[in-house]
Amino acid sequence: VFNWMHRETKNFGYKTTQTGYPEFSGQVGMKWQRDLFNDHTFFADLNYFWQSSADQKSRNRTTGVITKNEYDSWGTVNLGLGFESHYADCVNYFGSVNLNNLFDKKYEPATGSIMAPGFHVVLTGGITF
């Protein structure tokens, strides 16, 4: 997956393309999946998630002072392991463990909608019926 985003904002007469969002981001990886006993699927997902550097300029509408924030580019290696059950007309189970930022890379995310910095684990599970 590759993403290219070029934005321009205008706020109180101040126009900028330095919006604080990385211009480039992406993810590359490998996924392995295996069905066992015709009722269960197991998977492993290894990927590298990255973002380019980002700059943000904003103008204070009261004082007119322009401030600038700079965010370095970064990338993390992540591993997900999980399973799903496939029983017909019955209760089904699923679960996964995601080991994110395996090498504990320190970075400052440019946006709040991405993974948190530092190594962390996300556990997911559920039942459908």
Two tokens, residue 13: 């007469």
For residue range 27-39, list pLDDT tens digits in order. 999 999 999 887 8
Token look-up 């556990």 returns 123
Q: ∠ CA(106), CA(107), CA(110), 5° rounding?
A: 165
For residue range 88-115, list pLDDT tens digits in order. 778 889 999 999 999 998 887 776 655 5
Pick 5 or 29 by higher pLDDT: 29
Compute the residue count for the chain: 129
Q: What is the pTM of this model?
A: 0.73
What is the chain's mean pLDDT, rounded?
85
Two tokens, residue 115: 């993974």
Phi, psi of 65 (to 5 degrees): -75, 135
Q: ∠ CA(99), CA(102), CA(107), 5° rounding?
A: 110
